[in-house]
Structure 1
Amino acid sequence: MRSMQIKSDGAARKPRILVVEDEAIVALDIQQQLVQLGYEPVGHSSRAEVAILLARDLRPDLVLMDIQLGGAMDGITAAQAIRSAQAIPVVFLTAFEADDMLARAQLTEPFGYILKPFSARELRTVIEMALYRSATDARLRKSEQQFRTIFEAEPECVQVFDSMGELLQINTAGLRMFEAESLQQLQAYRLPDLIAPAYRQDFLALRQRVMAGESGVLEFEIVGLGGTRRWMDAHAAPMRDGDGRITMMLSVARDITERRLSFQQRRVSDHILSAVSQGVVISGPHLKVLQVNDAFLRITGLQRADIVGRTCKILQGPLSDADTIRRIGLAMHTGQDFQGELLNYRRDGSTFWNELSITPVVDENGAISQYVGIMRDVTERKEAQAAQQEHMHQLQSLSRRVLAAQETERRRVAHELHDELGQYLTAIKINLQTSQALSEVSATARNEGNIKIVEDAIHQVRRLAAALRPSVLDDLGLVPALNWMAEQNAARGQIAIRCDSQIADVRLLPEIETACFRIAQEALTNILRHAACRQVDIRLELRQDSLLLTIQDDGRGFDVNATLQRARGGNSLGLLGMQERASLIGGVLNLESSPGSGSRLTLECPLHLALAQA
């Protein structure tokens, strides 16, 4: 029967054995037997102290140790020293079977005993068993060392509990998570006491399921010995013994505090984004949209699936300003903030003005990780600004035309005063100067001629005054003034003008009466100049909470849009003047017409502004 071979550096060799025996003849005999059995004796010692040194230097595979040795140290003490220092297996040689000696020898965990005298077969059997056990123990130690290395190197918290829930083992990562310096320090506490109260029962229920043969997962919060709170994601499984009985629980827990906090922060962030009335869009470094809030979707009319993963270029269209788009791109490329306004497009194709602010977000290395855009729909403001600018333009045009009209009116009044009233006064002067020279004409005749000239002058002054502002408007009110104006224009234009009123006995505020009269006056002037009509109807009525003035003709009509466009360009003083007067009294002027179907002008103003106090 061949002896066990020892593998060293991949090659098989004979087992090397150190013999410790104080009787030289016995020692020599043992060495010879070892050679015959296929072993290699590497040395011999008769003293325990020397045997310890030889074991250290020679590193044999096995030591045959006589218990009774000469000197102060016996074989049991030497075996314990060798076993502790080099983990070399020892087989005791003894001629005695004393119980106390065997009890001491067992404390050194020997790999066998052999009683003297022994046969070669007995020696071989004991040696082979010892070498086999040593090899098995070595593999076990290596496996345990590998397991311990993995156990300690594992970045997650690894714990082993017994069937009663007591902590048996924990790795270094777990100690750090629980803020403990050692297993013993942590074992002084009940683990459930280190779990947040809200999750203790869940943890105990998990342990019961695992000990019943199930695996389980649980997220829970712990409080370390230093007071630090952490979130753990634990995966637990049962551990069985050689008979298949569940005796322990293995738990591998991951620290998910950052993930949990990040999730909570995202929830808070999402809540804040949902509550913000302005549109918010978050893009990655390559400008693809990562997240938008509800306000963004409401402003643009998009769905999240329409925009997430794409760029905001889908909001741009033909009317979007190319220069602004270029400045946005330049700011983002250089990591600068951008603020400006851009005309964008909604999902349905309608446009809106976007007041946009873009800010880059950098990471810890200074690289841009995100862009955050804040957008606000300012369409109403832009339209109001445009309307205000248009209104200012109209006012400027109106002012220029009013000044021009004033000068024209002054020239006309000056002309009439010079040509009409001046002539009358000159005639009176000539009559007075020549009254003495014309003795043949009686004084009575001369006075009658002067009175006629004065009457004509007075009539001319009254006509001019009425043209500037009819006294009937101030004395009698709007309705009589409209009737007077209708009579005057009907006679001059040779058309039928009908005036109908439901407020004959009601006086209005002076500014209301003036505005209505001037609007009607301008409308009649335009009708006489351009309409070529036969009939004009003027109607004044009270309708619910409004005063309504309507002027309608059956003339040739016109294109309203074209007329309004000319008015905005400053080419229609009359229409701009009417609109301005309506606006000043809080009213609305509406003009309806089309070629060949006459025209209809309506002024509506609030009734509570129109009625004068009694």
Structure 2
Amino acid sequence: MTPPSPPRILIVEDEHIVARDLQQQLEELGYATVGHAVCGEQGLAMATELRPDLVLMDIQLSGTHDGIEAAQQIRATLALPVVFLTAFAADEVLARAKLTEPFGYILKPFTERELRTVLEMALYKHQAERGLAEGAAQLRALSRRVLEVQETERRRLALELHDELGQSLTAIKINLQSQARFRSISPEALGLENIRIVDDALQQVRRLAMALRPSMLDDLGLAPALRWLAEQAAMRSGYELQFQALMPALRLAPEIETTFFRIAQEALTNVARHAQASQLEVVLQQSDEDLVMSINDNGRGFDPQASRGLAVAGASLGLLGMQERAMLIGASLIVEASPGHGCMLLLSCPLPARGGQA
């Protein structure tokens, strides 16, 4: 396993001797210095070009921008953490510095221990803030997606009810009216026609209900419902299916069965739309400790990191939605894929003790 890269730090300090000493201390502490700027304008330019993990910024700098002004621009345009260095602790300086939301404040002279403590806290705080920001962006994207899916599903149901079920009921109404107006049509013929139309309407209602939630998931459990789902997908897409379920006859908690089914449904939909696969393997296995589902295809694959980036931007939310579903039941979802080498999805959920199962 490749060790993590050391944090990259940009020094902005107009005293060359101080900057050289600071660089030596940072490297002895295990950090990597990516550059040294001597004024605020240069610090902003180097931060834009190098994108360090943190900027150590002297407050008193020569040039048109002091350290506080430079830090303000770096935070606003690059969202990088800034730690101030200064030999002055005047109240007015501190008041101005606070407005830039710095991640730390080090008074000269300082010890290596003080430097390391402030830097580690600043890096940790920045990582936590970035995680919160990404989580908030994902939540907003998911919320938009939920609304879009709701409207799409409502529109589809409205069209199906109007175009199919509505037409069937209209045909029955016309037949009933014809019985009174047209004596040439026998009641038996009209009755048979009405029965046929009612049968068609019942099939339409069953199909709509199955699309909303397969009854076999409630009646028979996860394994039969998942087999039906995979076989239906294979029939439509034309790939070769291998399905295996190694599970006891006991039923699982409804939220676990529903989550596994919906994640499989999303994954199989993605395979049909994008993978161009010829083979698919679905394995469902339950032990005393956990329930595991794997879905493997030999399709063209994709870049999971790029897909997550699109999800945060609201462009593609399939993977993000599956991860959100898994998280809600305490499950872990791993997706391994690369362009040209297919895709493997692994969903694992810890199970309660045998006595706690439904």
Normalized against structure 2, the TM-score is what? Answer: 0.71
- Aligned mates of 1:610, 1:519 — CA distance in 2: 24
| Inter-CA distance 329–448: structure 2 relative to 1 (3 Å threshold) | closer
Question: Which residue in the other structure is 1:300 paired with?
Answer: 29
Question: Which residue in the other structure is 1:332 paired with?
Answer: 87
Q: C-alpha deviations, 1:434-462, integer Å up to 9, x for none?
A: 11222122211111110110110011011
- Aligned mates of 2:252, 2:27 — CA distance in 1: 48
Given candidates 237, 245, 267, the residue that maps to 1:493 is: 237
- Secondary structure of the 1:608 match is coil
Higher relative contact order (CA 8 A, sep 6+): 2
Instruction: Write the mapping of 1:118-133 to structure 2, written as runs, cut at 5 A.
Output: none
| Inter-CA distance 541–611: structure 2 relative to 1 (3 Å threshold) | farther
Would you say the 8 A contact 1:496–1:534 is kept in 2?
yes
Structure having the larger proportion of residues in helix: 2
| 1:356 pairs with 2:124 | no
| 1:321 pairs with 2:63 | no
Q: List gaps (5 residues or longer) in structure 2.
A: 1-16, 20-24, 32-45, 60-66, 69-82
Matched residue count: 289
Instruction: Write the mapping of 1:430-579 to structure 2, written as runs, cut at 5 A.
Output: 430-542=174-286, 545-579=289-323
| 1:592 pairs with 2:336 | yes
| Inter-CA distance 299–549: structure 2 relative to 1 (3 Å threshold) | farther
Would you say the 8 A contact 1:493–1:528 is kept in 2?
yes
- Aligned mates of 1:504, 1:417 — CA distance in 2: 40
Shift of 1:298: 12
Instruction: Write the mapping of 1:329-408 to structure 2, written as runs, cut at 5 A.
Output: 332-333=87-88, 335-336=90-91, 355-358=103-106, 375-376=117-118, 377-378=120-121, 379-408=123-152
- Secondary structure of the 2:352 match is helix
CA RMSD of aligned residues (A): 3.4
- Secondary structure of the 1:490 match is helix
| Inter-CA distance 386–430: structure 2 relative to 1 (3 Å threshold) | same
Larger Rg: 1
| Inter-CA distance 406–551: structure 2 relative to 1 (3 Å threshold) | same
Q: C-alpha deviations, 1:503-556, integer Å up to 9, x for none?
A: 141321111111110000001111111111222111111367332110111222
Shift of 1:579: 1.1
- Aligned mates of 1:609, 1:597 — CA distance in 2: 38
More displaced, 316-325 or 424-433?
Answer: 316-325
Q: C-alpha deviations, 1:57-99, integer Å up to 9, x for none?
A: xxxxxxxxxxxxxxxxxxxxxxxxxxxxxxxxxxxxxxxxxxx
Would you say the 8 A contact 1:500–1:538 is kept in 2?
yes
Letter in 2 for 1:356: G
Shift of 1:600: 0.9
Shift of 1:474: 1.4
- Secondary structure of the 1:435 match is helix
| Inter-CA distance 504–444: structure 2 relative to 1 (3 Å threshold) | farther
Instruction: Write the mapping of 1:265-284 to structure 2, written as runs, cut at 5 A.
Output: none
Would you say the 8 A contact 1:509–1:611 is kept in 2?
no
- Secondary structure of the 2:87 match is helix
| 1:601 pairs with 2:345 | yes
- Aligned mates of 2:163, 2:183 — CA distance in 1: 30
- Secondary structure of the 1:533 match is coil
| Inter-CA distance 609–490: structure 2 relative to 1 (3 Å threshold) | farther
Shift of 1:500: 0.9
Would you say the 8 A contact 1:508–1:611 is kept in 2?
no
| Inter-CA distance 611–451: structure 2 relative to 1 (3 Å threshold) | farther
Would you say the 8 A contact 2:84–2:104 is kept in 1?
no
Normalized against structure 1, the TM-score is what? Answer: 0.43
- Secondary structure of the 2:333 match is strand
Would you say the 8 A contact 1:522–1:578 is kept in 2?
yes
Would you say the 8 A contact 2:326–2:333 is kept in 1?
yes
Shift of 1:599: 1.1
Shift of 1:612: 5.4
| Inter-CA distance 523–330: structure 2 relative to 1 (3 Å threshold) | closer
Structure having the larger proportion of residues in strand: 1
- Aligned mates of 1:552, 1:329 — CA distance in 2: 51
| 1:425 pairs with 2:169 | yes
| Inter-CA distance 423–498: structure 2 relative to 1 (3 Å threshold) | same
| Inter-CA distance 530–504: structure 2 relative to 1 (3 Å threshold) | farther
